[in-house]
Amino acid sequence: MSNELKRGLEGVLVAESELSYIDGEAGKLGYRGYAIEDLATQASYEEVLYLLWHGELPTRAELEAFSENLAAERSVDDEVLAAVADLARSGADPMDALRTAVSMLPTYDPEADADAEDLAATRRQGRRITAKIPTILAAFDRVRRGEEPLDPADDLGYAGNFLYMLTGARPDDVAEETFDMALTLHADHGLNASTFASMVIASTMADIYSSVIGGIGALSGPLHGGANEDVMEMLEEIDESGTDPVEWATAAREEGRRIPGYGHRVYRVKDPRAEILEQRLRDLSASNDDTKWLDYTTAIEEYLADQGLLEEGIAPNVDFYSGSVYDHLGIPTDMYTPIFAMARAGGWIAHVLEYQTDNRLIRPRARYTGPTDVEFVPIDER
Ligand SMILES: CC(=O)SCCNC(=O)CCNC(=O)[C@H](O)C(C)(C)COP(=O)(O)OP(=O)(O)OC[C@H]1O[C@@H](n2cnc3c(N)ncnc32)[C@H](O)[C@@H]1OP(=O)(O)O
Ligand SMILES: O=C([O-])CC(=O)C(=O)O
């Protein structure tokens, strides 16, 4: 037994996986060997889900059947929707509402009692969760805006249906394609904190619902998925205060504050997902004739590069660009992290399915640094 301490489990290998390949030095990412650039631009999110869950890209017939089965699970039980509506009216945070709603889902799952060892049942439950998250989130946002939740549109794909249920309008091709691409980019990323949280839970042979709920909780933090909202808040703060973005970044550096959307545990160069999203932001900014967010982010990125952050291995991560892209699609800021969860649920489920084929309880150790052999003093004598 090694006594070497690895804070934050940095660099520690705890499992084998065929899901995400990440080269943090070269800035490369692939799912099951396929480059993220190809998947983002040529595969739908449903195709990516199939790839992650089934091990290979689907044929057209397989994709059609898969997408139909997924779409057939989009409806959410009325009691769950009523609870979501109550939370929306009470001003709940959307991540809290999502976590609570996913906690309610097993009550209405016909296979809720399935054994965690039954991986086929876990896969079907995972499909239900993935299908229902967009319905929950769209209903939440509509109710808090005083609108009625909409039924899912069966003829729209996963991405397009979410945008439809959120806005009430069928999305145009650019919006649908952009959102689908964003979902693919966020679907999986090795043993990131939320995926690892899901796996720890799954390793006890708890159900997949518990794993996804754990994933949502872990993703919500500002060091992980929550950073996409912080980036947008930074851009809005710059805009509302009329501060020059470089001055904002200079002050943040001088005050020792971290720049949201910068830095990564694995990447030492710009995250390949940020490269793709940046290009999409450029396209949207040009077609919408609105370059504000692009101008601010570019100015900050150039300034930080001049400051030598890239040499230190601190570069933009996926969260640096996703928010501005979502803003161009008219999505409210506090839905960005829930959307990340919507996309990443596919990855959490894939890792749980993979890990449970050869499960081993995850149970590391802490080095004990407290006292020993302390004499117990009864409460009245303390
Ligand atoms: C989807 C995702 O989860 S991607 C990550 C999203 N999170 C963010 O964007 C939040 C901002 N970033 C961060 O806090 C960090 O970069 C993390 C948590 C993502 C990764 O951090 P770690 O691997 O633990 O790196 P660590 O915290 O040790 O940082 C190493 C050095 O880089 C610096 N650094 C890291 N991130 C940043 C940043 N965003 N801004 C400024 N400096 C930074 C640290 O201050 C530290 O410098 P020091 O050694 O002089 O103290
Ligand atoms: O891998 C990580 O640590 C964080 C990340 O980029 C992700 O989860 O997408």
pLDDT single digits (tens) 187-226: 999 999 999 999 999 999 999 999 999 999 999 999 999 9
CB 190 less than 6 A from any atom of ligand 2: yes
Predicted local confidence at residue 369, as pLDDT = 97
Give the pLDDT confidence of 61-88 residue by residue, as tens digits. 999 999 999 999 999 999 999 999 999 9
Question: Residue 224 CA: which ligand is closest?
Answer: 1
Q: Ligand 1 mean position to 267 CA, how many Å?
A: 11
Instruction: Supply the residue whose CA is at minimum distance from atom 3 of ligand 2.
Output: 192
Chain-wide mean pLDDT for the chain?
97
- The residue-averaged pLDDT of 130-158 equals 98
**28-31 and 34-35 beta bridge pairing:** antiparallel
Which atom of ligand 2 sits closest to the CA of residue 317? Answer: 6
Predicted local confidence at residue 151, as pLDDT = 98
Active site residue 351: no
Predicted local confidence at residue 128, as pLDDT = 98
Out of 141, 230, 319, 327, the active site residue is 319
The ipTM estimated for the assembled molecules is 0.98
The C-alpha atoms of residue 177 and residue 44 are separated, in whole angstroms, by 8
Residue ranges of domains in the chain, CATH in brackets: 28-223+342-356 (1.10.580.10), 227-328 (1.10.230.10)
- The residue-averaged pLDDT of 254-269 equals 97
CB 260 less than 6 A from any atom of ligand 1: yes
Predicted local confidence at residue 1, as pLDDT = 78
Strand, helix or coil at 93?
coil
CB 192 less than 6 A from any atom of ligand 2: yes
Residues contacting residue 327 through CB under 8 Å, at least 6 positions apart: 232, 293, 333
Q: Ligand 2 mean position to 192 CA, how many Å?
A: 5
pTM over 0.80: yes
Which atom of ligand 2 sits closest to the CA of residue 195? Answer: 8
Active site residue 264: yes
Of 3 and 126, the one with more pLDDT: 126
Element counts in the chain: helices (H) and strands (E): 16, 3
Bridge partners (DSSP) of residue 23 are: 28
User: Residue 233: pLDDT band by 50, 70, 90 thresholds?
Assistant: very high
Out of 189, 224, 264, 351, the active site residue is 264
* Token digits of residue 10: 């940095």
Contact (CB, 8 A) for 202 and 208: yes
Share of the chain above pLDDT 70, in %: 100
Predicted local confidence at residue 2, as pLDDT = 83
φ, ψ (nearest 5 deg) of residue 154: -65, -25
